[in-house]
A and B are shown apart, each in its own frame.
Chain A
Amino acid sequence: MRRTVVTSAATAAGVVLLLSLKPHEASGPAPVIGSGAGTGSGTAVGSGAGTGSGTDVSGSSNAPAASASPSASASASASATGTTRKVSGDTVNTRYGPVQVQVTLAGSRITAVDVVRYPNSERRDREINSSALPVLNQEAIAAQSARIDVVSGATYTSDGYVRSLQSALDRAEG
C-alpha cells in the first residue's frame, strides 16, 4: 500500500510538471523547433565561418537561443562548395533546451560535427523563471537544470544531438 501511494504522488508531481512546462516546451517526440524547421528544403550552407579545420564551435553559453539560427538564415544562399560543405541539422528540442549540429563533409566523408546550438541559454532560464511553477522537489531540480554544465547518467541532450545529426546527414545525402 505504501508503495502505491508513493508512486501515485510521484506521478502526480510529474503530471503537474508537464502541464507547467507545456507552454514553454514542445512536448512529445516532435523534435523540430525554431527557424530551421520552416524551410523544409535542404539547408546545405557554404562555409561561412571560414575556418580551416572547423572541428570546434565557439559560443558563449549565454548566447540567446531565441535568435534566428545562423545556419538557417545562411541557407537561403545555400550552395555546396564543391569538395567541402557544411550541412545543418534540425534544431531538436530537448528537456534542457535546443540542440542543433552542423556537419562538415569532404565529399561524403564527415570531417567535423559542430554543435551550433546548445542548452543552458538565457532564454531557457527566463522560461523557467517566469513560469511560476509550484514548489515541488522535481521542479526545483528542473529549474536548476538550466544552470547545469553537464549531465551525468543520461545523455538526453546527446539524444537531441544524435537526432539533429541524423537529419543533417539525411539532407547531405538528399
Chain B
Amino acid sequence: MLRHAEPVMGTVFSVTVRDPGPGTPAVLERIAERLHRIDAVFSTYRPDSDISRLDRGELALDDCDPEVHAVLAACREVAAETDGYFSERPGGRLDPSGWVKGWAVERAAALLRSSGSRQYCVSGGGDVQCAGGPWRIGIADPRQPGLLAAVLAGHDLAVATSGTAERGAHILDPHTGRPADGLASLTLVGAPGTGIARTDAWATAAFAMGPVRALAWAARRPGVEALAVLPDGSKRWTPGLPGHLPASGPADWRTAVG
C-alpha cells in the first residue's frame, strides 16, 4: 500500500494505491505536478492564473491553456443537465472550481490507471474516486465534526459531498444569488462509469436545489444515488442508496443511515 498526500488547490489531495508497482512512486510525482499545474491554470485565488486573467479580459480564451476551453464547455454541460443549478459564474466572477476539483481527482485517477494500477483511491478535499475495491467511504456528518453520517462500501465508486460543514454556507443558488441553506450536506454516488468530475459538479448543483428537488432530480438519473442530511440532522435518500451500504446485513444499514 502506498499513500501520498499533496496540499494543493486550498485543500489536500490524497492517493492510496493498494497494488503499487515499481513505477508507482514516479506516477505519484507526476500526479502532484499535474495537480499543481491545474491549480496554476484554474485557481481563482491566483491573479496570474489563466482563469483570473481571462475573467479580467487580459487573456483571450484562445490564448488560454487548451484545457480551459474544455473545462468551461463541461461547466455549461453541467448547467444544462442540472436545470441551471450549476454555474461557472456562481458569484458573478468566472469560477469553474465546481468542476475543476473533481476533474483534477479524475485526472489523477487516470494517471494511476494508465500506469497499470487497478486498486486505488483518490480524494480531493473529500471528493472521492476509487478503482477496484472494496473501499469503505465514510460520509462526514455535517453537524457533528468527527462523526460520520453514513458509511458506503463498494467497488469503482465516485462519491462527492457538498455541504456547509467545512466552509459554511458557501454554495450559491444561481437562481437567487443567495447561499443555499436547505441542506446541511448532499452526497452523490455517481452512476457506474461516471467520473468524479461530473459527480462532484452535480453534487454542488443538487445542494443548491435543496432537499426535495435534489432527491427527485437524483432519482431520475439512472445509477445516481443521493444521501441528504438536512439542517436538523434528519436524513433522506434515494431508493437505490442502500445498495451502496456495507453488505453486513439490514441492521448495519439501519445504523449507517438511521
**A149 and B16 in contact, given A7-B232, A55-B4 (Cβ under 8 angstroms):** yes
Cβ A56 vs Cβ B4 within 8 A = yes
With both beta carbons as reference points, the residue of chain B lying nearest to A14 in the complex is identified as: B144
Known: A113-B6, A158-B125. Contact between A152 and B12, CB under 8 A?
A: no
New contact pairs (16) apart from A56-B24, A141-B150, A162-B7, CB-CB < 8 Å: A51-B25, A56-B3, A57-B3, A58-B2, A137-B255, A137-B258, A145-B138, A145-B148, A149-B136, A150-B14, A150-B128, A150-B137, A152-B138, A152-B159, A154-B126, A154-B166
Instruction: Give the chain A neighbours of B147 by CB distance below 8 A.
Output: 14, 17, 95, 138, 141-142, 145
Task: Report Cα–Cα, A147/B25, bound state, in Å.
Answer: 25
Q: Does A153 contact B161, Cβ atoms closer than 8 Å? A: yes
Interchain CB contact under 8 A, A162 and B126: no
Chain A interface mostly: mixed
Q: A141-B256, A145-B148 are in contact. Are A59 and B136 (CB under 8 A)?
A: no
B16 CB to nearest chain A CB (Å): 7
Question: 1/0 per residue A23-43: CB within 8 Å of B?
Answer: 000000000000000000000
Distance (Å) between the CB of A1 and the closest chain B CB? 13
Q: How far is the CA of A55 from the CA of B31 in the complex (A)?
A: 11
CA distance A57 to B12 in the complex (A): 16
For B258, the chain A residues whose CB sits under 8 A away are 137
Q: Which of A44-61 contact B (CB under 8 A)?
A: 51, 53, 55-61
User: B56: shortest Cβ distance to chain A, in Å?
Assistant: 30
Task: Give the complex CA separation of A148 and B142 in angstroms.
Answer: 17
B residues contacting A by CB (< 8 A) are 1-7, 11-12, 14, 16, 20, 24-26, 28-29, 32, 121, 123, 125-128, 130, 135-152, 159-163, 165-166, 185, 187, 232-234, 246, 255-256, 258
Give the residues in chain A near B138, CB-CB below 8 Å.
Answer: 141, 144-145, 148, 150-152
Interchain CA distance A87-B180 in the complex, whole Å: 42
Give the Cβ gap from A64 to chain B, nearest Cβ, in Å: 15
Q: Are A55 and B32 in contact (CB under 8 A)?
A: yes
A152 touches B126 (CB 8 A): yes
The distance from the CB of B168 to the nearest CB of chain A, in whole angstroms, is 12
A148 near B144 with CB under 8 A, answer no
| A25 nearest CB across to chain B (Å) | 9
Which residues on A sit within 8 Å (CB–CB) of B161?
A: 152-154
CA distance A58 to B26 in the complex (A): 13
Which of B130, B151, B233, B258 counts the most chain A CB atoms within 10 A?
Answer: B151
With a CB–CB cut-off of 8 A, which chain B residues contact A95? 145-147
Chain A contact residue count (CB 8 A cutoff)? 44
B28 partner residues in chain A, CB cutoff 8 A: 55-56
Query: A113 vs B3: C-alpha distance in the bound complex, in angstroms?
Result: 11
**Most chain A beta carbons < 10 A, residue from B146, B162, B165, B187:** B146
**Which residues on A sit within 8 Å (CB–CB) of B232?**
3, 6-7
Mind listing 13 A-B residue pairs with CB under 8 Å?
A14-B144, A53-B25, A57-B2, A94-B146, A141-B138, A141-B147, A148-B136, A150-B16, A152-B159, A153-B142, A156-B145, A158-B11, A165-B7
**Is B24 touching A153 in the complex (CB atoms < 8 A)?**
no
Q: Please give, as numbers and ranges, the residues of chain A lying within 8 Å of B2 by CB-CB distance.
A: 56-58
Chain B nearest CB from A112 CB (Å) reads: 8
Taken residue by residue from 140 to 174, chain A's Cβ proximity to chain B (1 for < 8 Å, 0 otherwise) reads as 11101101111111111010011001000000000
Is the pair B139, A155 in contact by a Cβ cutoff of 8 Å?
Answer: no
Write out the residue numbers on chain A whose beta carbons fall within 8 Å of the beta carbon of B149. 141, 153
Cα–Cα, bound, A141→B145 (Å): 13
Contact in complex: B12, A155 (CB < 8 Å): yes
Q: Which residues of A contact B143 (CB under 8 A)?
A: 10
B203 to chain A, nearest CB (A): 9
